[in-house]
Amino acid sequence: MSLGINGQILRVNLTQGTHSIDRPDEAWYRMYHGGRGLIAYYLYKELEPGIDPLGPDNKLIFAAGPLTGEPFGGAGRNSVGAKSPLTGAYGDGEAGGFWGSFLKRAGYDAVIVEGKAEQPVYIAIEDGQVTIHDASDLWGKDTAYVDQYLKAKHGRGAKVCQCGIAGENLVRYATVVNDINRMVGRTGMGAVMGSKKLKAIVVKGKQMPKMSNPQRVKELAAWMGKNHAELTKGFHKMGTSGVVQPLNRVSGLPTRNFRDPSFEYAEQISGEAMHSQFKVKDDTCNACPIRCKRVVESEEHQVDGRFGGAEYEHLSAIGSNLGISDLAALMKATERCNAYGVDVISLGVTIACAMEAYERGIITTADTDGIELTWGNAEALLTLSEKICRREGVGDLLAEGSMRFADEIGGGTGEFALHIKGLELPMHEPRLKQGMGVGYAISPTGADHCHNLHDTGTAKNVDFFKPLGAFKPVPADDIGPEKMRMLVYFTNWRHYMNSAVVCQFLPWTIDHLVELTNGVTGWDTNVWELMKVGERAATLTRLFNLREGFTAEDDRLPKRFFKPFKAGYIKGKAPSEEDFRQAIRYYYQMMGWDEQGVPTNGKLTELGILWARDSAAREVTSIEQG
């Protein structure tokens, strides 16, 4: 077996209370790696079409990658995946911290959780040994309590991932939480964990797999430690919160449900304001020199630093997107969301949909438990966050997400329920970043910014693309064939990174990651092979969604984003629906998919996964014949 991996994948069946081990060969690891590639392989191979995502037949997979846990910046991540209860499509997400690294130390590359326990349980994996414990006393407790309790019980070196109270209550956008404050935020993996009555997984171990060339890995890690500050332009100082004001200046800060071109109080909710008004400390993930995580605490406002702090997505999703400028309320809401384990993006966009419905008179206080859902109402945010996580009153419907909320309310609400395939849009404006809008539409998980192209960057800097043969910048508002070429290359590389599993915030080049992979595994890999890892993962997730009944019609963007702003930096700019559909067709063609977005036999053969067509012959053929 190669270096850098354990060669063991743990299966735990909670219905039977048993566990077993899969031992794939080296060729399998080179094809699928870990993370997204591994998860897509197992979900596609083993799930029956049409299963209930919150039923016992779903499988919840926690996966590290070949680079997880190694001693260099960005290698502190792991993925969690299942069929999504929010979208009904392929679902996964990634989180940093230390849990994934210690899963590798405990002797496994991934954990596949099957079935459902009768009562709440947690799994402990300690130096290869697996036990299942009663967790009834932990049910209903917040993330800090559970983390500290289990670390005290299992001793020094134990790391904890868990579902919070939102996951227990099957909030469809509940998170899986690593180390108290690292969130697998999108697609509702916490709800799947809660549905299985699995409160937590504790990992503990002392032995990382050996590396092939530790000296070269050490040299590259030292290079990043020396150069990251210059390359990331102050990211260490402000983290993601530093982009609030720059994005606001270019109409890129979502405001009042993406309806307005800028937020007049952006300065009041900026990273600069957060750092000046609150006690903010740095935090980091395994072996990472950047320290981009913020820890915010305040005795005056009763904000508990154990739960971390606000990122850009928080400040926008529950700040500007709701018209809220009360920074103290945003810090408290962020703390509560992390304590309960809920995705702040989906929560914020769902509440924004409700606020717009309230403004239009589609709903009234009779529908909202007496809460006035007016823009800027910070008290409403704090109250609704609690109600959503506990599924109380109107929170029970809002816990279903914007798509189901709009379907239930009716009255035209669907026009401003801003989701794709059921997943709410992140805080990046697709009228500014138009290639990203196409990326939202074709993403296997629904609207996602993490495996997507940020056009404002590629409009100026194409260094990433030069090893792939693309040398000229393309404007941010261009969605022609050259931009689609960039989108294909970039998203496939990001799918690889999510299989590796490595953080996107580190300024590693393509060549660096090839060197790091070889230094860890000894595979003598190259750019071509790693790009194919990403493309293979993207294609398997596409096949999964096709089998679940999704079609090319689901690769869409909400109509709001085809209407330009009447003021602001991008006044008058928006993609046309015709150009957008043409861009989708370019993407399909470049991916080796047909006009309906179905991967061809030739492409599956080229990727070495023709078996995937065979296992879905009936479902995919019916789609093709339409």
Summarised one tens digit per residue, pLDDT across range 157-181 is 999 999 999 999 999 999 999 999 9
The arrangement of strands across the sheet holding 78-83 comes to: 18-22, 9-13, 110-114, 60-63, 78-83, 90-95
Cα–Cα distance, 432 to 427 (Å, whole number): 12
Q: What's the pTM value of the predicted model, to 2 decimals? A: 0.96
- Asked whether residue 120 carries a pLDDT value surpassing 90, the answer given is yes
Mean pLDDT, rounded, of the chain: 95
pLDDT above 80 for 614? no
Q: What is the pLDDT of residue 1?
A: 64
Neighbour-count burial of 361, counting CB atoms closer than 10 A to its CB (0-12 exposed, 13-18 middle, 19+ buried): exposed
Q: Cβ of 566: how many Cβ atoms within 10 Å?
A: 9
Q: CATH number of 239-424: 1.10.420.10, 3.90.180.10, 1.10.569.10, 3.40.50.1820?
A: 1.10.569.10
Number of neighbouring beta carbons within 10 Å of residue 128: 14
pLDDT at 551 over 90: yes
Sequential DSSP letters for 308-339: ----HHHHHHTTGGGT---HHHHHHHHHHHHH
Nearest to 521 by CA among 211, 287, 289, 216: 211
Q: Based on the number of CB atoms within 10 Å of its own CB, is 393 exposed (0-12), middle (13-18) or buried (19 or more)?
A: middle
Location of each CATH 1.10.599.10 domain in the chain? 453-558+572-625
Instruction: Give the Cβ contact number of residue 415 at 10 Å.
Output: 13
Q: Tell me where in the chain the CATH 3.60.9.10 domain(s) lie.
A: 9-204
Q: What is the mean pLDDT of residues 98-102?
A: 97
Mean pLDDT, residues 574-580:
98
Q: Where in the chain is the domain with CATH 1.10.569.10?
A: 239-424
Distance CA 274, CA 328 (A): 9
DSSP letter string, 139-159: TT--HHHHHHHHHHHH-TT-E
d(CA 390, CA 385): 9
* Chain segment 478-502, per-residue pLDDT in tens: 999 999 999 999 999 999 999 999 9
Q: What does the DSSP assignment read for 510-525?
A: HHHHHHHHHHHH----
* Predicted confidence band of residue 615 (pLDDT cuts 50, 70, 90): low
From residue 50, alpha-carbon distances to 47, 58, 113, 549 in Å are 9, 10, 19, 9
Q: What angle do CA 450, 454, 460 make, to 5 degrees?
A: 150
Query: 466-501: buried (b, 16+ CB within 10 Å) or exposed (e) per residue?
Result: eebebeebbebbbbebebbbbbbbbbbbbbbbbbbb
Asked if 477 and 429 count as a contact pair (C-beta separation under 8 A), the reply is no
- Dihedral sign from CA coordinates of 594, 599, 600, 606: positive
The reported pLDDT for the residue numbered 622 is 35
* pLDDT of 379 strictly over 70: yes
pLDDT tens digit sequence for 69-99: 999 999 999 999 999 999 999 999 999 999 9
CATH of domain 9-204: 3.60.9.10
Window from 37-46, 64-73, 228-237, 335-344 with minimum mean pLDDT? 228-237
Helix axes 327-340, 344-359, angle to 10 degrees: 120
The answer to whether 187 touches 423, Cβ cutoff 8 Å, is: yes
230-245 pLDDT tens trace: 888 777 778 899 999 9
Read off the pLDDT band of 542 (50, 70, 90): very high
Residue-wise pLDDT for 423-465, tens only, equals 999 999 999 999 999 999 999 999 999 999 999 988 988 998 8
Give the whole-angstrom CA distance, residue 595 versus residue 116: 40
Q: What sign results for the dihedral spanned by CA atoms 324, 233, 465, 490?
A: negative
Domain 453-558+572-625 fold: 1.10.599
The tens digit of pLDDT for each residue in 272-325 reads 999 999 988 889 999 999 888 889 999 888 999 999 999 999 999 999 999 999
Query: Tokens in use for 14?
Result: 């909670």
Which pair of tokens denotes residue 457? 């960057």
pLDDT at 119: 98
Name the 3-class secondary structure at 6: coil
What proportion of the chain, given as a percentage, has pLDDT over 90? 91
- Give the whole-angstrom CA distance, residue 178 versus residue 98: 8
CB 395 within 8 A of CB 384: yes
